[in-house]
Amino acid sequence: PDTAALAQARARNGQLTKPPGALGRLEELAIWYAGWRADPRPSIAAPQSIVFAGNHGVVAQGISAFPSEVTVQMVANFRVGGAAINQLAGAAGAQMQIIELDLDRPTADFTQGPAMTEAETVAALRAGWQAVDPQADLLVVGEMGIGNTTAAAALSLALYGGDAGDWTGRGTGLDDAGLANKTEVVARAVALHAPTITDGLDALARLGGREIAAMAGAMAAARQLRIPVILDGFICCAAGACLASTQPGALDHAVAGHCGAEPGHAGLLARLGKEPLLTLGLRLGEGTGAALAIPLLKGAVACLSGMATFAEAGVSGG
C-alpha cells in the first residue's frame, strides 16, 4: 500500500461530519482501499468478477452430491446469465468473465497421485493471472467445479493441520454417509502427499485443481496491479491460503467478503487473519459471497471520498 495515500485518507476520515469512529469498520475499509489504490480519495467504478471452472478427478471417489457434468452445464448457465453470480455481480455493477479450464480433461484423482503436473499448475496460474483486467479497481474471484470442496478441504488440512473432519463439509449437499466417505478421502489424500509437500504452491499442484490455481494466479496478479480483492468462500480462501502459506502477507490486498456455511471456511478465515464482512450462511461459491460484499466496500469508499468535512459543512465539532 501507498503510505502517503494511507496517511492522507486517515487524516481526511478524521475530519468528516460524523463522530470519530461512528462508521465502524467502514472507516478502516475505506482507508485500506485508498492505500492499495494509492489514492487518498478513491472511487470504485470498475469492479471485475471472474468465475473459473475446472473438473476434478477425485469425483471418482464419490465425494459429491452432483455429477461432474454439472460443471459444464453451469458454465453454460453463467454464459446466459442464469446463475446466482450473474445476478449478484450485475446488482453490484461488476463486469463478469467466465474462464473454463480444460473441463474435458479433469485433474488426476489426488488420492492416487498429484492432481496436476507442474506444467498444468503453471498454465492454470497463468490463466488466472491473465484474466485480470488491469483497468479493474476491485476484483472478485469465484469458482465452479464439482468436487472442489474436497480439494479445498485437502489443501486446508495439508497447510494447517488438524483433523480431516475439521475441514470437510457437505459441499453441495452430501448426506451423513457421503460426508464420512469424503472425510476419509481427504484424510487419505493428505496422508499420501503431506510428507513431500514443500510449500503452498506445491500443495496447490498436488491437492488443488485448475480453477483453484487460477484463482490464486488472479489474486497474485491483482496484488501486482494494486487491485484490492474481496475473498469469496471456502474454495477461494483455500486458493488464497496457498499464496499466504508460500509468502506471508500475500493477501494483504484482500478482505474477506463473507463467512459461509461450509464448516472449513471459518477456520481458513481465522488462519488468514481475516474478519468477514458478512455472515449470511451462503455456501454456493461462484464468487457470490464476495460479490454481495462489493456494495459494502463501495459504500465505505463513497463515505470517505464524498462526505463533507466539519469545516466544509460548518458543523460544530464535538
Which residues form the interface with a second copy (CB under 8 A)? 16-26, 65-67, 69-70, 73-74, 76-77, 80-84, 86-88, 90-92, 172-173, 260-261, 277-284, 288, 291-292, 295-296, 298-299, 302-303, 306-308, 312-316, 318
Between strands 47-53 and 138-144, the pairing is parallel
The nearer residue to a second copy, 191 or 315, going by C-beta atoms, is 315
Are the beta carbons of 232 and 274 closer than 8 angstroms?
A: no
Of 236, 313, 299, 210, nearest to 29 by C-alpha is 299
The nearer residue to a second copy, 11 or 313, going by C-beta atoms, is 313
- Write down the catalytic residue from 27, 211, 262, 286: 286
- Residues forming a β-bridge with 158: none
Are the beta carbons of 219 and 255 closer than 8 angstroms?
A: no
The nearer residue to a second copy, 202 or 262, going by C-beta atoms, is 262
- Smallest distance from a second copy to CB 261, Å: 6
- Smallest distance from a second copy to CB 185, Å: 19
- Smallest distance from a second copy to CB 139, Å: 18
Strand ranges inside the chain, DSSP E: 47-53, 95-100, 138-144, 229-231, 254-256
The nearer residue to a second copy, 202 or 286, going by C-beta atoms, is 286
The nearer residue to a second copy, 63 or 244, going by C-beta atoms, is 63
- Smallest distance from a second copy to CB 221, Å: 26
Q: Does the annotation count 28 as an active-site position?
A: no
Give the three cell numbers for residue 306: 464524498
- Smallest distance from a second copy to CB 95, Å: 16
| Helices marked H in the chain | 3-13, 25-37, 69-79, 84-91, 118-131, 148-160, 164-167, 176-193, 200-207, 210-224, 234-246, 264-272, 288-306, 310-313
**What is the C-alpha separation between 33 and 273, in angstroms, rounded?**
17
Active site positions, annotated? 286
